[in-house]
Chains A and B, each alone.
Chain A
Amino acid sequence: MSGINRWSLAISLVLAIILGLAAWESHKIYNEKIRAQQAELVKLERWSRSYQRLLPVIDRWNETFRTAADIRDRYTLFQSLQLERYGLDSSPDRFRVRTLEDVKAPNGRALGLARICVSTQGGGGFRVHAETLDPDLLEGVSEIVSRPDVDVSGVRFIQQGGEVYAVMDGFCIYLRS
């Protein structure tokens, strides 16, 4: 140990101790920061997994509901129902929009979906015709009321004076807005 400058040794020891303590303190702080960052990452990954799982929902959403972008007027709205696909017919001249509202999630936020209730009759019924009661009218009506983008509260099949038709009550269609 001879020849070693005592002052130099003391200063270096103090310096080393101070640096060591400082390093340890900052190490603790960094560890905390890193832990917080990891927690954020876990949160993000959890979010990401939920999001990934839900992404197909968007495609199903787009498949299930037609877009309102193509609807310009009553007539195009009527056409968008595509009644002819179900072998049904109605009178576009009497076609009316009764109500139009934004569909809201239970938390009150808009889903980006409009619920449009339509009718062709004063009482709110939507009257459709077909060649025959069975099978045309029965099957056509059952198909259209089964559509997930359509709400119907009731269906009446009516024979009057040799004429057969169906009236769908509370007919509403959902359109993506």
Chain B
Amino acid sequence: MKRLLERLRPLAAPDSGDAQFVGLESELETLDPQRPVMLCGDLVFISQDEHASGLEGFVRQPDRPAGGALAKGAPPLKVWISPAALKAVSGPVRAGLGIDHILRWGLRQRDPVIVASGYAGERESNIEITAFGQRKLLLTREARLPGMGNINRFRSDFDLLVRKVLLDLEWDDGREVRVFVAPPLPEVPGIEYLDAPFRRFRPARLSDGGKTDSSVTFLRAHGLPLLIAGVGVAAWGGLTAWDVSRLAEQERVFDEKVSQQAVRGNRQIGLERLQAIGRFLESRNKKASVDPERWRDLMARVASVSDSIRSFRFHLDPKPSDPDFTFVAIVPATDESPMSQGSGWLPKAAPEGVVLQLIRARGTTRSVNGGAQRQVEFHVEGRYSEKSDKPGEGEA
């Protein structure tokens, strides 16, 4: 019978997703490193008692929630793992906890259920009872029962255990409570078998209690991602900082220029006005300065052929129709008419480069030394011929 059980057990403890259930320290040595490891039985100790301190040497794992976030009356489940088991799965082996799989299923149950898991030994079984209801873990209990070699003894002790649990939960009022046996226990005739939670292997992150530097594992898990994120942050920060500094530099240069301008242009004359002023100045400076020689030449010439000059008028800004100058010269009268005397006199008065035109000739009388003297006034208009752009109007 023993031999039969020995042979039967691996068959009876179904694998989940190819995982191997390991519940005894002795089995740790024969692990298949290629397959996931499901820790259970003696290698895992659980308790919902807040004062529980675990087994000697066992390593505390993160607490498992025993209900939803708002669940009342479900203290978190404390978990400890045998150091030997931790050591065995510390390599590249994927490891999960049986209790995690049961919890995951049990916390979905609204109706009362009792799940028996644990480990069926040769002569002895280590049975782990968990009870769920209202989507909460309500109770855990560990019990040593006879081995499954004597299935009848096992069954009667198992029934006794279940009844005690029902009593403790006050579920003994006749309500319907479903009882399951779950892997790695083999199927027990007459009891529902629960292998659904184990169909998919879910690895657990196991704490080694700080024996290895946690930063090393942290770095291994998150180092590259952190590096990538860091490069992203650095690229973003660097590029943005560079942009900001370039813009700031541009603005600084601009402000500097503006303030230099403000200092230099302290006379507060706008560019537009400055340009207008410049143009006006230019027009003023273009104004030809008057050469007195020209006047002098002309007046001397006219004076040399006349008795006197009444007036000499120079137009400094003549319109095209205006003469450049006009003068009134007085000469003694001859027998000729004033106009014909004038046309004879006029060429004598004209210096080179000047065109004269007799506008009016008038005879007058002037008393000189008691006697009357007849005189003629010539009113003459003159133009500088070199200024004229009319080709026919040359020197007379």
**Residue A69 interfacial (CB < 8 Å):** no
**Residue B188 interfacial (CB < 8 Å):** no
Interface with A: B160-168, B313-321, B352-360, which one?
A: B313-321
Encoded as 1 (CB less than 8 Å from any B CB) or 0, chain A from 16 to 44 comes to: 11111011101100110110011011001
**Residue A99 interfacial (CB < 8 Å):** no
User: Please, which residues of chain A bring their CB within 8 A of the CB of B299?
Assistant: 133-134, 138, 157
Q: Are A8 and B222 in contact (CB under 8 A)?
A: yes
Interface with A: B63-71, B115-123, B274-282, which one?
A: B274-282
Once A30-B244, A33-B247, A158-B311 are accepted as A-B contacts, the answer to whether A109 and B273 lie under 8 Å apart by CB is: yes
User: Please, which residues of chain B bring their CB within 8 A of the CB of A58?
Assistant: 267, 269, 274, 277
Q: Are B232 and A145 in contact (CB under 8 A)?
A: no
Encoded as 1 (CB less than 8 Å from any B CB) or 0, chain A from 122 to 149 comes to: 0000000000011100110110011011
Q: How far is the CA of A40 from the CA of B261 in the complex (A)?
A: 14
User: Please, which residues of chain B bring their CB within 8 A of the CB of A4?
Assistant: 220-225
Kindly provide the distance from the CB of A57 to the nearest chain B CB, expressed in whole angstroms.
4
Q: Are A146 and B289 in contact (CB under 8 A)?
A: yes
Kindly provide the distance from the CB of A174 to the nearest chain B CB, expressed in whole angstroms.
8
Q: Are A16 and B228 in contact (CB under 8 A)?
A: yes
Q: Are B225 and A138 in contact (CB under 8 A)?
A: no
Can you give 26 contacting A-B residue pairs, CB < 8 Å?
Answer: A4-B225, A5-B221, A8-B221, A9-B228, A12-B224, A12-B225, A12-B228, A15-B232, A20-B232, A23-B236, A26-B240, A27-B239, A31-B243, A41-B253, A44-B257, A47-B271, A48-B257, A57-B278, A64-B284, A106-B276, A145-B316, A148-B287, A154-B313, A155-B314, A156-B314, A157-B309
Please tell me which one of the listed residues B223, B271, B281, B296 contacts residue A138 in the complex, with CB atoms under 8 A apart: B296
Q: How far is the CA of A170 from the CA of B277 in the complex (A)?
A: 23
User: Please, which residues of chain B bring their CB within 8 A of the CB of A31?
Assistant: 243
User: Please, which residues of chain A bring their CB within 8 A of the CB of B151?
Assistant: none
Q: Are A3 and B221 in contact (CB under 8 A)?
A: yes
Encoded as 1 (CB less than 8 Å from any B CB) or 0, chain A from 146 to 177 comes to: 10110111111111100000000010001000
Q: How far is the CA of A157 from the CA of B295 in the complex (A)?
A: 10
6 interchain residue pairs of minimum CB distance: A16-B232, A30-B243, A146-B289, A105-B276, A12-B225, A12-B229
Kindly provide the distance from the CB of A172 to the nearest chain B CB, expressed in whole angstroms.
11
Q: Which of B225, B229, B239 has the most CB of A within 10 A?
A: B225
**Residue B290 interfacial (CB < 8 Å):** yes
**Residue B8 interfacial (CB < 8 Å):** no
**Residue B143 interfacial (CB < 8 Å):** no
Closest A-chain residue to B328, C-beta based?
A: A158
Q: Are B221 and A57 in contact (CB under 8 A)?
A: no
User: Please, which residues of chain B bring their CB within 8 A of the CB of A72?
Assistant: none
**Residue B308 interfacial (CB < 8 Å):** yes
Q: Are A34 and B267 in contact (CB under 8 A)?
A: no
Q: How far is the CA of A47 from the CA of B392 in the complex (A)?
A: 51
User: Please, which residues of chain B bring their CB within 8 A of the CB of A85?
Assistant: none
Q: Are B247 and A44 in contact (CB under 8 A)?
A: no
Q: Are B250 and A111 in contact (CB under 8 A)?
A: no
Q: Are A9 and B224 in contact (CB under 8 A)?
A: yes
Q: Are A37 and B229 in contact (CB under 8 A)?
A: no
Q: How far is the CA of A57 from the CA of B276 in the complex (A)?
A: 10
Please tell me which one of the listed residues A5, A12, A23, A48 contacts residue B235 in the complex, with CB atoms under 8 A apart: A23
**Residue B246 interfacial (CB < 8 Å):** yes
Contacts A142-B291, A160-B310 known; 17 new A-B pairs at CB < 8 A: A2-B92, A3-B220, A9-B224, A9-B228, A16-B235, A26-B239, A33-B247, A40-B254, A51-B265, A51-B274, A58-B277, A61-B281, A107-B276, A135-B296, A138-B299, A139-B292, A154-B315
Q: How far is the CA of A138 from the CA of B289 in the complex (A)?
A: 13
Q: How far is the CA of A133 from the CA of B226 in the complex (A)?
A: 104
User: Please, which residues of chain B bring their CB within 8 A of the CB of A27?
Assistant: 239-240, 243
User: Please, which residues of chain B bring their CB within 8 A of the CB of A50?
Assistant: 271, 275
Q: Are A57 and B274 in contact (CB under 8 A)?
A: yes
Q: Are B257 and A155 in contact (CB under 8 A)?
A: no
Q: Are B313 and A155 in contact (CB under 8 A)?
A: yes
**Residue B233 interfacial (CB < 8 Å):** yes
User: Please, which residues of chain A bring their CB within 8 A of the CB of B291?
Assistant: 142
**Residue A113 interfacial (CB < 8 Å):** yes
Q: Are B313 and A44 in contact (CB under 8 A)?
A: no
User: Please, which residues of chain B bring their CB within 8 A of the CB of A112?
Assistant: 273, 277
- Considering only residues 78-107 of chain A, those with a C-beta below 8 Å from chain B are 103, 105-107
Please tell me which one of the listed residues B92, B265, B281 contacts residue A57 in the complex, with CB atoms under 8 A apart: B281
Q: How far is the CA of A113 from the CA of B276 in the complex (A)?
A: 12
Kindly provide the distance from the CB of A145 to the nearest chain B CB, expressed in whole angstroms.
5
Q: Are B295 and A142 in contact (CB under 8 A)?
A: yes
Q: How far is the CA of A106 from the CA of B314 in the complex (A)?
A: 29
Please tell me which one of the listed residues B232, B253, B311 contacts residue A19 in the complex, with CB atoms under 8 A apart: B232
Kindly provide the distance from the CB of B245 to the nearest chain A CB, expressed in whole angstroms.
10
**Residue B285 interfacial (CB < 8 Å):** yes
User: Please, which residues of chain A bring their CB within 8 A of the CB of B239?
Assistant: 23-24, 26-27
**Residue A13 interfacial (CB < 8 Å):** yes
Closest B-chain residue to A146, C-beta based?
A: B289
Once A8-B222, A19-B233 are accepted as A-B contacts, the answer to whether A142 and B254 lie under 8 Å apart by CB is: no
